[in-house]
Amino acid sequence: MWLIDSTTPTLISVLFSTIYVLLFLFTLIKILLSTHSTPKTLAYILLVTIVPVIGIFIYFAFGVNYRHKASSTNTKSQHNQISKAFQTLIKDNTLEFQKDNVALLDKYNDLIHFIHALGSEYLCLNNYKLLLNGEEKFPEVLKTLSAAEHFIHMEYYDWENDTRGNQIKNILLDKIKKGVNIRIMYDDYASRNIKHNIVKELKDAGAEIYPVIKVKLVAFANRMNHRDHRKVIIIDGHTGFVGGINISDRYDNSIDTGLYWRDTHIKLMGQSVYNLQRHFLVNWNSCQENKLSVNTTLFPPIGSSKETTEQIYSQIVAGGPIYPISNIMLTYFKIFTLAKNKLYITNPYFIPSDSILDALKQAAISGVDVRLMMPEKSDSMVVGAASKFFYREILEAGVKIYLYKKGFVHAKTVVADGSLSVVGTANMDIRSFDLNFEIMSVDYGASLANELETAFLNDMRECREISSEEWNSQSKFKFLLYSIARLVSAFL
């Protein structure tokens, strides 16, 4: 009995040590196999190594997406099926358009073919309307929704239970009574405030409305990967909206919410709406059982637009975890390396990949006028500090940085050389490049580029430019904080 008692603590200690070593090795293997970002891989390995037990707990609580494998496989399958059906139904006019407008499109042949190769992203001719801020977007959306005759499809990251949120809801309720089919997807975490009111009202009235990714543990949801960050509306298959503006009063400066919000959206009228619709169907068929097919009801023939607006050629680029490569990041990279004279970028979150960083530096060093606009004060302390880590490097290369002071700039736009533009939902960070479902319109045409460039130059009046000398004069302590934030951002 005495021998058993004396050896029991030792046996327990050996048992627990063995279990911990096995768990540690299992965690290391899982990190290496499951985490594709090198900085994030190194960060998690460092965490579980220097913070025993707690580091492993943090990794499994926040670093693992438990729904990824099943949902990603399902979504990839839907993407393949819908893309094949889409190519059968919709005529690809890419080559014809390139031949019809050599003067504009010839210099972008490489970009057009690259985006086309990402997944049959056809070049399309559209009428368009640029919408600056919510005070321009929401009246246009409300008017267009009211004119819907057959169906309305919506996919939104953030929908709030406020004035604009309820105005849109009320129009949708009215359209349901008139026989219009309403199908809506929303991000379960970001739009959590509407689940017990707006969602319920719409569902009770007959709308089909679902979360793209259902969140069970809301407390941990802000660390879950694969969020649906898109903001898309499709009306009757011929009109679409895409951009950075969510459904919330804070985006509308005609409603006093205490902070001026600067953002950009675009209304497209033409065949690019087919591509918006195609990507909508992929997520729709993946998040619930009532599947939709590629048919002439959802992809009707599109005639000339009734709106006498300017025309542009457009390609839609979609990104997310179902794609084998980072479509969004590589498209940004391609655009940045093609710029010859001017490259004006507006984005609220700037934690670039090495490729994006190199593309910006080579453009600036090559003599391109590269200007990057971001908010002076970020809505995330860590992300804001992490962004600042990269300022010194790009400033030294010749990139000009402008910090927006008037309020919060949330637009995700690019304008290059007076004829190439981007309006979309993607931030310039790893989450938007690889983890979130994102979408953007890449547009060719001087009219839109001139409008976006004018908007950029107007916004510059509300900015403070940072010089390399000013930035380098900061204390080493601040640079240390920026560096630490950059490392912490790998976990975000």
Strand partners, 181: 151
As a whole number of angstroms, the distance between CA 66 and CA 221 comes to 12
Q: Identify each DSSP E strand in 271-419 by its residue range.
A: 311-319, 342-346, 350-351, 369-375, 400-404, 408-409, 413-416
Active site residue 236: yes
Maximum average pLDDT range among 77-81, 155-159, 255-259: 155-159
- Residue with the bigger pLDDT between 224 and 473: it is 473
- pLDDT-based confidence at 64, cuts 50/70/90? low
- pLDDT-based confidence at 7, cuts 50/70/90? low
User: pLDDT tens across 221-242, in order?
Assistant: 444 567 899 999 999 999 999 9
Residue 1 has pLDDT above 70, yes or no: no
User: pLDDT tens across 389-434, in order?
Assistant: 999 999 999 999 999 999 999 999 999 999 999 999 999 998 898 8
Active site residue 195: no
CB 271 within 8 A of CB 125: yes
Lowest average pLDDT, out of 32-46, 62-76, 342-356, 474-488, goes to 62-76
Q: Cβ neighbours of residue 138 under 8 Å, at least 6 residues apart?
A: 164, 167, 251, 252
Question: 360-373: buried (b, 16+ CB within 10 Å) or exposed (e) per residue?
Answer: bbebbeeebebbbb
Q: What angle do helix axes 134-146 and 163-177 make, rounded to 10 degrees?
A: 10
Residue 448 has pLDDT above 50, yes or no: yes
Provide mean pLDDT across the span 449-476.
95
As a whole number of angstroms, the distance between CA 398 and CA 420 comes to 22
Question: What is residue 73's predicted lDDT score, i.e. its pLDDT?
Answer: 64
Provide mean pLDDT across the span 463-483.
92
Active site residue 231: yes
Question: What is residue 250's predicted lDDT score, i.e. its pLDDT?
Answer: 96
Q: Which of 412, 429, 434, 443 is catalytic?
A: 412
Whether the CA torsion 310, 141, 403, 482 is positive or negative: it is negative
Of 54, 45, 40, the residue nearest 25 (C-alpha) = 45
- Residue with the bigger pLDDT between 16 and 492: it is 16
Place of tokens 């490049």: 433
In the 8-state DSSP scheme, what is residue 98? H
Provide mean pLDDT across the span 434-455.
96
CB 146 within 8 A of CB 233: no
Question: So what CATH class is 68-103+125-312?
Answer: alpha beta
Question: What is residue 452's predicted lDDT score, i.e. its pLDDT?
Answer: 98
Residue 486 to residues 65, 132, 346, 352, 390, Cα–Cα distance (Å): 22, 31, 20, 11, 9
Identify residue 304 by its one-letter amino acid code: S
Burial of residue 301, with CB atoms counted within 10 A of its CB: 0-12 exposed, 13-18 middle, 19 or more buried: exposed
Q: Which of 229, 265, 361, 400 is catalytic?
A: 229
Average pLDDT, the chain: 90
Residue 446 has pLDDT above 60, yes or no: yes
As a whole number of angstroms, the distance between CA 241 and CA 233 comes to 5
Question: What is residue 33's predicted lDDT score, i.e. its pLDDT?
Answer: 82
Residue 217 has pLDDT above 80, yes or no: no
Residue 2 has pLDDT above 50, yes or no: no
Residue 47 has pLDDT above 70, yes or no: yes
- Residue with the bigger pLDDT between 327 and 76: it is 327
Active site residue 99: no
Q: Which of 417, 429, 434, 459 is catalytic?
A: 417
As a whole number of angstroms, the distance between CA 258 and CA 238 comes to 36
Question: What is residue 303's predicted lDDT score, i.e. its pLDDT?
Answer: 76
Question: What is residue 324's predicted lDDT score, i.e. its pLDDT?
Answer: 81
Lowest average pLDDT, out of 141-150, 230-239, 319-328, 370-379, goes to 319-328
As a whole number of angstroms, the distance between CA 153 and CA 109 comes to 32
User: pLDDT tens across 271-284, in order?
Assistant: 999 999 999 999 99
- Residue with the bigger pLDDT between 478 and 253: it is 253
As a whole number of angstroms, the distance between CA 201 and CA 210 comes to 13
Region of 304 on the Ramachandran plot (φ > 0 left; ψ -120 to 50 alpha; else beta):
beta
Q: Which of 153, 228, 410, 459 is catalytic?
A: 410
User: pLDDT tens across 166-216, in order?
Assistant: 999 999 999 999 999 999 999 998 999 999 999 999 999 999 999 987 776
- Enter the tokens of residue 282: 């992929």
- pLDDT-based confidence at 72, cuts 50/70/90? low
- Ordered by start, the domain boundaries in the chain are 18-63, 68-103+125-312, 327-491
Q: Which of 158, 236, 249, 443 is catalytic?
A: 236
Give the three-state DSSP class for 313.
strand
CB 220 within 8 A of CB 197: no
Active site residue 68: no
Q: What is the CATH number of domain 327-491?
A: 3.30.870.10
Fold match flag (68-103+125-312 vs 327-491): yes
CA 254 to chain centre: 26
Count of CA atoms in the C-beta half-sphere (13 A) of 58: 16
CB 89 within 8 A of CB 295: yes
Provide mean pLDDT across the span 427-442.
91
Residue 15 has pLDDT above 90, yes or no: no
